[in-house]
Copies of this chain bind each other. A is one copy, B any other.
């Protein structure tokens, strides 16, 4: 498959939903960095299912076990391997799916690519469960970035037709922490309540909803990145599209910029305390693949959970004829909710990787 990413930091993700364990190998961290495992676990618990009616009722105890790379909680310089055992699996729920691919799930495409023997029980390696290892890597990256006063935060910008406030021009770490502490990770509690209702309505109708996540990185200096193929936008987009259900990625005004005039879209420069800034940030903190020094702002469109309780049309792959499908099992009515820390994790990993590559960040 293609479960590796990174240049200076190299991440390899493994595991199937119903295998013995899932996990990751993260190579390239400097030696001697204290990892706060409790903070890491707190971060990971933000994506854990089973914490509210708005997410799947599966129980997963996602505490990572470090097999290598840590000695007494301090990085050893060598590759860090962490695993999470799989315990609460019910493969029976998925047995019939082998012949009846779930619409908008990878059941069909995985078989078309890897053949009949690919393990797709519980979506196999394509499962959202594989985002837990991403959160291990990203949670560690967040800690290293924070030590250099670079912070990554995200919130649920919209669910179906309900919208949160967007990030202000200068988001703060306090704002990130507040959003993360709420039942739904939003800036406006009132918006959160409306979103929760939208999710609840969908759940009650055996349906699901999509959403948009807005993520910001603050504290980045100007001058990080590169033009053409390996800049901030290329690298972040390539990584973020690795998260299941992401169908769109935009920076700053993004698709909104396509409707704007240059006179409205251009961000005028100004000087604040001797530092070059822009008076607004439609660029999302990146021009020509390189950071401007303003907050980096990226948004991800998350499709609605494809697993819904309603009857759906599909085909029998063995008989090549139409069929009906009713998915059982426990599913999130809105994957965007639990994806918020995953987006943070992937953004943090990517930014740390770029910084280490360009600046040797954290190496001394």
The answer on a CB contact under 8 Å between A68 and B20 is: yes
The answer on a CB contact under 8 Å between B118 and A76 is: yes
Partner of A15 from the list B78, B250, B267 (CB cut-off 8 Å) is: B78
CA distance A261 to B204 in the complex (A): 13
CA distance A108 to B287 in the complex (A): 9
Tell me the minimal C-beta distance from A248 to chain B in angstroms.
Answer: 3
A68-B22, A251-B247, A266-B312 given; A76·B242 CB < 8 A: no
CA distance A276 to B118 in the complex (A): 19
The answer on a CB contact under 8 Å between B12 and A79 is: yes
Select the stretch in A36-44, A166-174, A179-187, A223-231 that faces chain B.
A223-231
The answer on a CB contact under 8 Å between B19 and A103 is: no
A77-B125, A81-B23 given; A106·B287 CB < 8 A: yes
Tell me the minimal C-beta distance from A37 to chain B in angstroms.
Answer: 14
The answer on a CB contact under 8 Å between A1 and B77 is: yes
A255-B255, A269-B103, A303-B265 given; A1·B21 CB < 8 A: no
A262-B208, A263-B207, A304-B257 given; A2·B69 CB < 8 A: no
The answer on a CB contact under 8 Å between A242 and B254 is: no
Select the stretch in A49-57, A144-152, A209-217 that faces chain B.
A209-217
List chain B residues, Cβ under 8 A from A301: 250, 254-258
The answer on a CB contact under 8 Å between A229 and B222 is: no
List chain B residues, Cβ under 8 A from A358: 360
List chain B residues, Cβ under 8 A from A279: 313
Chain A 305-364 residues near chain B, CB threshold 8 A? 305-308, 310, 312-315, 317, 320-322, 336, 357-360
Tell me the minimal C-beta distance from A191 to chain B in angstroms.
Answer: 15
List chain B residues, Cβ under 8 A from A13: 79, 228
CA distance A232 to B223 in the complex (A): 29
A139 interfacial contact with B, CB 8 Å: no
The answer on a CB contact under 8 Å between B117 and A75 is: yes
A125-B227, A160-B261, A227-B125 given; A4·B32 CB < 8 A: no
List chain B residues, Cβ under 8 A from A46: none
A274 interfacial contact with B, CB 8 Å: yes
List chain B residues, Cβ under 8 A from A313: 268-270, 279
> What 1/0 flags go to A64-96 for Cβ under 8 Å of B?
001111010011111111010000000000000
A-B contact pairs, 21 of them (CB 8 A): A1-B227, A14-B67, A14-B78, A16-B69, A23-B68, A32-B117, A77-B110, A106-B289, A106-B290, A112-B290, A112-B292, A160-B258, A209-B262, A234-B242, A237-B238, A247-B284, A248-B257, A258-B336, A262-B304, A266-B312, A357-B357
